[in-house]
Structure 1
Amino acid sequence: MLRACIGARHKPIVFRTSVNFMAKRKASEDAAPVAKRTKSNATAPIVYAARQNSAWKVGAHVSAAGGVENAVTNAASIGANAFALFVKSQRKWTSPTLTDTTITRFKAAMLEHGYDARHVLPHGSYLINLGNPDAEKRKKSYDCFVDDLQRCAALGLVLYNFHPGSTVGEATTEESIALIAGCINDAHIATEGSGIVTVIENMAGAGNIIGGDFAHLGKIIEQVNDKTRVGVCLDTCHMFAAGYDLRTAVGWNKIVSDFDAQVGLSYLRGMHLNDSKTELNSKRDRHENIGLGHIGAAGFHHILNDPRFQDIPLILETPSGDEKKPGEVWAVEIAGLYSLSGALGMEDELKNVVDRVRVVVERVGGGKAKKGAEKKKKTDKGKRKSKKHEDEDEDEDYAE
């Protein structure tokens, strides 16, 4: 019988600092100055200010290069009133500790730009696999998981999004689900008092991956002791790849109904808004820019006109084209999504959104990036062994 998460638990760390920035706003002069803004990341004040009070919280997973505090200004610069970030390297087991200066600057930037911690959705390490039946490897993932939670708490954040894990072909789905829930329970004890909500992401359903079925998420939550500290993030590309068709109003309403029945809408804490490069039920996680994939702009119109999805972070993880100008594509996509909110859904408006996104993607190097990817694919073709979908997609990010 598999043992729930780990043998020796972390000693609980008690967090007493409030994490609600909006409730405890104070004079910015009391904090250390935030990183100096340059012309490339200067905030667009008119656009951003107009969206601050919107019920829709649309943003992107922005860069935290040079310090997590930079993620805040990067988000504001593209007119986002929500954002995601990595609180450490997503592909390393350990990272340098956050300094007091970095923490202070991050909190000051949050205050300066008026972001509420409820609309920031940090993403966990890609290495974490809490469903691994190997106790030693699972413990390594668990330690990385808890470190992420502690970093979020130090920054005053309240959400933490992560991929649930994989059976790696050595456990049943039910066994891995129990292990994931056990690790979440242990992590909640280890971070007692932080209030951080562990937000489980749905997955594309490849091979051994947990989370392609809403029922998986519901079963994990059933086994979590503290229901106030667990939630779900729905990724549109993952849903579509797993067979959930959101392209029509009927399809979207069925998805919401199924999710409510198998998980519960009360657990929804955020979404990732991504179009899909692959067709419905492909089981492949391939993000595409809004309106340019197989989902199409209509699918996102349904979301941005469903009031049940207001006041939660709606985060783009779409291709950004030129790495030197990632914000340009996201700024246009964010504006396009806002234009869909309240729209009647006429074909002209949907086409306008798609056209604007296509133009900016091509202008900042989307076509060049595609050619580069095709060239690399040809170069590597003779070197690669035959792999299952899970190895090509999600499983490659999990520790063995």
Structure 2
Amino acid sequence: MEISDVMKYKMPKYEYINMDSGWSQTFDEYGRWTYRTDLFPSGLRAVSDHLKKNGHRLGIYILPGIRRDAYDANVPVKGTDYRMQDLVTEKKEGNGFKGVTYMPDTHMDIVQTYYNSLAELFAEWGVGFVKIDGCGFGGGDQFYPYQSPDNRECLRMMGKAFRRYGIWMELSWYMDHSYAEDWARLSNGARIFIDIESYSTRTMTTSHRVFQRVTQASRWVDTGVVGKDYGFFIDLDVVLVGMVVGGKCVDGLDNDDVRKSYISFWAIVSSVFCTGADPRMIPDKYLAMLNHPGILDIHQAGNMAQPIGSGNVWLNRKQVWWKPMSDGRICCMLFNAHTYMFMLGFSHDISFDFSDVGLIKGSSVTIEDVWTGESLGIHRESYNIKLRPGQCQVLMLSPNIEIS
């Protein structure tokens, strides 16, 4: 509640406040996830009502399938004569985290009834966002992918239930772009890579882990199902810029060049954008980055940018991504993705031709630097700049009409 009070004026454009795992340790009388009374003695409805006054919506985290503890207790499905053990006999894993849920044997109407009751309960609490983890095909990491079973039928039923109440449904983790059409049909968003956290005892992430996601994002460009027109967005994981613990910035990023590139890339691909940090602790300098009106406008355009050339940062350190804006302008992000696991690389000249962003060859454009608001004047045919490793420049191109 206090975070919501602070976020209202420190981050006025941000809408959801989401809890990760840990909010629930057990089930209710109908086998549904329920909140910890030690953490929420007044219930979640009291929390969501407070958030609503500030223009915020509450988000929670669950796993697909039937909770094993609810199965063991064999509690009833709400409003029916069925019990949990009627839904499961084969005891197949229900998600990528083994030993937590069971997969229903068959996805019959009674399973839909169970998920409907779950959505009904969350709606009663005022929940507006549900992250569902351990989804598959997919899951795992880059070395051991596909750790999650194929629970798409469960996800279909969950999506149907949550849509009735306008609840955003987010899938996780490392969802396979080969099934992009399925994920877009089933949900509103999907995590597309491993956790961004480095699991260090000192810092949250690294510049290298941030730039890894550029390559992953490029795999979703040609799926044709990402963006506001489809109601589905990729999720590159949390933006940890400016995370402070004990008075010390622990985001693990090399410098402010990387921080701006981090925010800018999430914006230009319109990734689900979650800060991952307590807004009460983020320094004003980084709040200004996270609240930059021009960058947020680019993000809220809701369409995914595409790369010029390869979007694989290992093959192409000189990245240029672009997308059209609704007012006819073109947004371009140039960035030097020359980072290694433990260090930054070298400066590079980065350029692009205007014909590469859908303009007629020989076109002239007026260019503005989005981060600084500076006018860079009129340019014809191409643009070039030298960028430090990890540095970016976000441009807004306004095509000039030439009368002969």
TM bin, normalised by shorter chain, reads 0.3 to 0.5
Higher helix share: 1
TM-score between the two structures when normalised by the length of structure 1: 0.40
TM-score between the two structures when normalised by the length of structure 2: 0.40
> Which one scores higher on RCO, CA 8 angstroms, separation ≥ 6?
1
Higher strand share: 2
